[in-house]
Amino acid sequence: MKNKLLRADNNFGGVLSATLTAGDVTSASLTPVPTEAPGIIVLKAGEAQEEHIYYKEKDSGAGTISGLIRDYTNLNGGVGFEHINTTPFEVMQASEYLNNIVDALIEGYIDEQQTLLFVSTTSFTVKTNKTAIYTAGRILRFNQDSTKIAKVVSSSYSAGTGLTTVVVANTYADVPNPITYVEIAIQPKGATALQDVYYAEDAGASDAYAVSINSAITALFNGLTIVFKANTANTGAATLNVNGIGATTIKKLNDQDLGDGDIEVGQRITVVYDGTNFQMQSQIATIPSSFSLADIKAPQGFLLNGKIVPSVTSNNLTVAIKGIDGNDPSASNPVYVRIGDTVRSITAALSVTKNAGTNWCNSGGAELATNEVDYFVYLGYNTTDGVTIGFSRIPYASIYSNFSATTTNEKYCAISTITNAAAGDTYENIGRFAATLSAGAGYTWTVPTFTSANLIQRPIYESRWLTWTPITVGWTSYSNAWSVYQVRNGYITIKWSASTGASNSATTSITIPFAVLNYPSGPTGSIVDNSAIPGSPGKYSGVPNSNVITFYKDYANTAWTASGNKGSSLDMISFQI
């Protein structure tokens, strides 16, 4: 297609070339440079309308259009507008032409009508390479007759003949013979033409669907949309043959072959050709009635169709896995969980019970007895016992050997069966619940009314902030502002304060809910010794596998005064456990 001719009032002509970005003119030039600025011929659908843009004088930038400013004052049939041009050309664009004017200037209408030649009712030729103009989906009108409308299916150029052959869908009209004139509907640059949707009834065999549509297409094209009524159900992978062009595979979900029963008898099926296959857009006729293990992609430790249910009966604590409906898992009501890299199914009742009368996990010791404790629930697996359930005070375990086998140890895990447990068996943290164990020989269990704060139905690796009762050395009595802790992964964070109290020993220490690792030490908070505030900070320290934290009045490990008032504190100090 030739560039659009422009005309100035002094009848000097020029050819406009332009660059498009995102639908707007970003740069343009006019050659040859006229002595006066030109007018622009604007084409509006159904008529040709000429608009002139005049300038009183031409400046040095008149040959380049840059930094465009739109001026609408001279359009819609105006007779000219004088404007002193102090910047490069201004492009005049009316809002109603905004989407069409660029096509009109850059593409224009075909002016080689004398080169048209009838070939058949569905094709014609035109001289030179016009494939960029006759693009698939373009609407054509022949011989200026509004009843003769067709749409471009494809176009191809032969260098040998110098001709472009245009193939059209003659759904509405045949290519006329003789063909004297072709008009092309203008559309915005970059727009995608709408495709016809063809309907037909299938006449093929099962899994080999075949239709004949009311179109003369001889090849499939990207975006071709077919709706057909299936006369058979499919039994697996299937194909569609349109107008005898050839069997083409039907895919679902982009790259998957159809499954048995995805198409029912009489179902209207919509498919779109993607250049290789037909993509099925219709809903598949069969929907799986239940999950398959292969379909589950849950992260480690997350229950599917399951929940944690703690309860106390006769002072004994039971932690069970139930279905979402509250019933025990079964073959028809399975619970799934990913343990390690394998999804396991729970199809029978699964629980662990720990009776009263034992200081389980040292939760009935002096520090924690009668205090609410957070327990972390685990599911493990071995090939003999299958899926097992347990609960522990530590949140970070991943294998069986991370737990202690001693029932009264703070790292003990109460597991449903350990007869065949091995050190490397995988365990997954699946949630958390709260419970209280009483002091003394009774060691009876109680649980609170459960809420979303004290019963967590997902993997979680930290406790709430909880209280404990330290065993203290060094005071006859003292005022305790707070004693709270939080377990997070493999650490315990302590916040404790003895604001003032009567000293009765040169040694000062407290116990915390877990034994520490390594040799922790560091500065304490504010301290008081013999009713006075020392001039240096205090110090805390611990030893491995002990829950005793010792305090000193300074970093030289100086002993305290065994009289007067004494005070110390730990403010958000973390210990590895």
The pLDDT tens digits for 276-299 are: 999 999 988 776 555 565 466 789
**pTM of the predicted protein model:** 0.55
Mean pLDDT, the chain, rounded, equals: 80
Q: Which residues contact 556 (CB under 8 A, 6 or more apart)?
A: none
Q: What is the DSSP code string of 352-376?
A: EEE-TTS-GGGTTSTTTTTS-EEEE
pLDDT at res. 290: 54
- Residue owning tokens 């509006």: 44
Average pLDDT over residues 400-415: 97
Q: What is the mean pLDDT of residues 119-128?
A: 90
Query: Between the CA of residue 149 and those of 43, 180, 215, what are the distances in Å?
Result: 20, 14, 14
Task: For residues 245 and 211, give the distance between their C-alpha atoms in angstroms, rounded to a whole number.
Answer: 10
pLDDT surpasses 70 at 244? yes
Predicted confidence at residue 503, as pLDDT, reads: 93
pLDDT of residue 113: 53
User: Exposed (0-12), middle (13-18) or buried (19+): which is 326, by Cβ within 10 Å?
Assistant: exposed
Residues 6+ apart with CB under 8 A from 21: none
Residue 22 has pLDDT above 90, yes or no: no
Q: For the chain, give the percent of residues with pLDDT over 70.
A: 76
- Enumerate domains of the chain plus CATH numbers: 5-106 (no CATH), 113-184 (2.40.30), 197-280 (no CATH), 295-456 (no CATH), 466-576 (2.60.40)
Instruction: Report H helices in 217-295.
Output: none
> 406 phi and psi, to 5 degrees?
-85, 120
- Reported as a single tens digit per residue, the pLDDT across 477-499 is 888 878 999 999 999 999 999 88
Give the rounded percent of residues in the chain with a pLDDT score beyond 90: 58
Q: Is the pLDDT of residue 461 over 90?
A: yes
3-state secondary structure of 517: coil
Under DSSP, the state recorded for 211 is E
pLDDT in tens, 173-224: 789 988 888 887 655 544 555 567 888 999 998 899 999 987 778 889 888 8
pLDDT-wise least confident of 36-45, 372-381, 423-432 = 36-45
For residue 105, the cross-strand partners are none
Does the pLDDT at position 117 exceed 50?
A: yes
pLDDT for residue 444 is more than 80: yes
Q: Which amino acid is at 162?
A: G
Give tens-digit pLDDT for 48-70: 333 333 332 333 333 333 333 33
pLDDT in tens, 288-341: 555 565 466 789 999 999 999 999 999 999 999 999 999 999 998 999 999 999
